[in-house]
C-alpha cells in the first residue's frame, strides 16, 4: 500500500452525501459558544446567587419552571450540553478504543445514553407537575392551592 498516490493519478472520487464529521466539528464550536452563556447563567442562579445550592429544593425548581424563560433555558441546556458531551466522548472513543468490538460497544453506549437522557429530560421538563396530589404541602411552592 502506498502512503500517497502516485503523481498524475486521478483524483479520488468525491464522497457523496452529508459530511457528518464536518457538521459535528461545526456543532462543537457553535454549541460551545451558546453553552458558555447557558451554563454560567445556570451556575450563577443555582450556585452563587442568594443562599447558593442550599436554596435548591423541589419548590425552587417548581418556581423556576413556572417561568417559560427557564423552561426554554433548561431545555436548550439539556439538548445542547448532552449532544456536545456525547459527541466529545465519541471523539475520545474513536481516538483511544483500538479494539473494534470495544469501540462499537462504547459508541453504542454513548448513543443510547444520550438518546435516553434527552427523551427523559425533555419529558421531565414538559410533564412536570409543580403541585402533585398527595405531596406534603410544606414541600410545594407557595403558588400551589392549599388543600
Q: How far apart are CA 24 and CA 110, in angstroms?
A: 15
Residue selected from 71, 81, 97, 107 as contacting other proteins according to rule CB under 8 A:
81
How many other CB atoms sit within 10 Å of the CB of residue 111? Answer: 12
* For other proteins, the closer CB: 68 or 138: 138
Binder of other proteins out of 71, 103, 107, 113 (CB under 8 A): 113
Kindly state whether residue 89 participates in binding other proteins, applying the rule CB under 8 A.
yes
Please report whether residue 115 would count as binding other proteins according to CB under 8 A: no
Among 23, 43, 67, 105, binds other proteins (CB under 8 A): 43
In this structure, what C-alpha cell is assigned to residue 34? 451558546
The binding site for other proteins (CB under 8 A) comprises 29, 32-33, 35-36, 39-40, 43, 47-48, 50-54, 56-59, 61-62, 78, 81-82, 85-86, 88-89, 92, 113, 117, 120-121, 123-124, 127-129, 132, 135-136, 139-140
Amino acid at each position: 500500500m502506498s502512503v500517497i498516490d502516485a503523481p498524475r493519478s486521478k483524483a479520488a472520487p468525491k464522497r457523496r452525501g452529508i459530511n457528518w464529521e464536518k457538521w459535528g466539528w461545526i456543532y462543537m464550536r457553535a454549541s460551545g459558544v451558546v453553552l458558555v452563556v447557558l451554563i454560567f447563567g445556570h451556575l450563577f442562579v443555582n450556585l452563587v446567587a442568594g443562599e447558593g445550592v442550599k436554596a435548591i429544593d423541589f419548590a425552587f425548581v417548581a418556581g423556576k419552571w413556572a417561568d417559560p424563560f427557564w423552561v426554554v433555558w433548561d431545555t436548550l441546556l439539556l439538548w445542547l450540553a448532552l449532544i456536545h458531551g456525547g459527541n466529545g466522548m465519541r471523539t475520545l472513543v474513536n481516538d483511544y478504543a483500538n479494539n473494534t468490538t470495544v469501540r462499537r460497544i462504547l459508541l453504542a453506549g454513548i448513543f443510547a445514553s444520550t438518546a435516553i437522557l434527552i427523551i427523559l429530560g425533555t419529558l421531565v421538563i414538559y410533564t412536570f407537575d409543580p403541585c402533585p396530589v398527595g405531596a406534603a404541602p410544606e414541600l410545594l411552592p407557595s403558588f400551589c392551592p392549599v388543600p
